[in-house]
Amino acid sequence: MESSTFETETYYPDNGTEIILEEEPKVVFWAWFQMMCLFLAIVGFLGNLLVVLVIIRQQRRRTSTDKLILALAVADLLTSIFIIPIPTPTSLPYGVLGELYCKVIYSSVCMWISIMASVFSLIMISGERYVAVCYPFRYQRLFAGYRPDVILCVIWIVSFIINTNSFYVSFVDTPGVNCTVKFPTPEFQMFFGIVLFLVEYLIPVIIMLLANVYTIRALNHQARSLVAKRDKRSGPALKLLQARRKVIEMLFIVVIIFVICWTPDQIGYLAFNIGLVEVDFLYSPVYRSFVALAFCNSCANPFIYAARNPNFRRALKELVMFSPIGGSIFNQGGPGFTDRFELSQTQGTIRGVLANGRKPSLHACLEVPGSSQKTASTM
């Protein structure tokens, strides 16, 4: 995309007459990367704004899952705002203003804080679902009441602390023309790059994948027990498990999209920090394509919710029609099922195990009412 601008020059001869000289038009090119960032920012902002509005306008009491997904949407919404391209100054002033620009604007520290908050929110969503399925008693202690709000505050504080490194490596380049990034030593840059790769990408990905895989396995185990039992009580419980599995599979897709979007960027930046590629690689079309793919993750989740969750589609319709948003959206049981129902079912299992003088195990927690005798006999 390009646009034309004209430069004019005013000339005053000796008689005082004003003469305006118009030079040839200069073409200003809009780089494809800036256009892509602007497009992703608009899509991400609108999509995540809809998710935020849908959740906060629920008439029912929000669950811990709702709060965590709301936090994820807020973090992605802020990321979408911060990726909007801004003009680059031709020169920077000396002093506090120049240093502030380099440490905050040039380093995009606000964007990286929101990205880290998004990553940690995904970890908490995966962990929350794992605990809810495998450790329902602990779930009530860990995620009841105000505890999810405390967890979210800790997430943002940790995200800010991790990204304070930009305050120590971003400076105004002499003689004050632009910003530069300087590490104390190459060894420190290598150490910093490896730690950042582990904290921002590798460890979160491993935690999220393992948590989702074990959660789905536990749900499959419960479903097989219910199908084998086939009594009147197993019908509602099986329906609950099927609904929960659909939502957890949706959240698992969110994790997979995160891995796909961020893997090229993280590997490329790690290669730069450990010295495998030169700094010019960070400004190449290849790496900028990696960055654009990473930014796609901030606007992908609303589309996943709309494609995989009929309750979310219903809530969107009610939002557009200015109707009250009733029922549940991300609650695994859907309308008519709650975590309290699930917990009462698990309590019945554990009571049956305790009645036989046995200590409840994780396997017992994954069983359903009616199968406790079988579990106790095999312990």
- In a 3-state reduction of DSSP, which class is residue 329? coil
Residue 126's Cβ-side half-sphere holds a number of Cα atoms within 13 Å equal to 24
Structural domain boundaries enclosing 361: 339-379
Q: Which residue has the tokens 């020169």?
A: 91
pLDDT number for residue 321: 81
- In a domain, residue 333? The reply is no
pLDDT number for residue 221: 80
- In a domain, residue 68? The reply is yes
How many Cβ atoms are within 10 Å of 31's Cβ, its own excluded?
Answer: 12
- Domain containing residue 169: CATH number: 1.20.1070.10
371 vs 365: CA distance, rounded Å: 11
pLDDT number for residue 226: 67
Domain count, the chain: 2
Predicted TM-score of the model (pTM): 0.77
- Longest pairwise C-alpha distance within the chain: 112
217 vs 229: CA distance, rounded Å: 19
Burial 73-111 (b: 16+ CB within 10 A, else e): bbbbbbbbebbeeeeeeeebeeeeebbebbbeebbebbb
pLDDT number for residue 338: 38
- In a 3-state reduction of DSSP, which class is residue 171? strand
Cis peptide before 236 (omega within 30 of 0): no
Are residues 247 and 330 in contact, defined by beta-carbon separation less than 8 angstroms? Answer: yes
Q: Is the domain of 344 the same as that of 321?
A: no
Q: Is the domain of 53 the same as that of 125?
A: yes
- Divide the 379 residues of the chain into consecutive groups of 10 and give the mean pLDDT of each group: 46 49 47 89 95 85 85 95 84 78 87 94 92 84 86 94 86 73 88 93 94 87 70 60 77 92 94 90 90 93 88 84 70 42 42 39 38 37
Q: Is the domain of 260 the same as that of 356?
A: no
- In a domain, residue 235? The reply is yes
Are residues 171 and 99 in contact, defined by beta-carbon separation less than 8 angstroms? Answer: yes
Q: Is the domain of 117 the same as that of 177?
A: yes
Are residues 126 and 164 in contact, defined by beta-carbon separation less than 8 angstroms? Answer: no
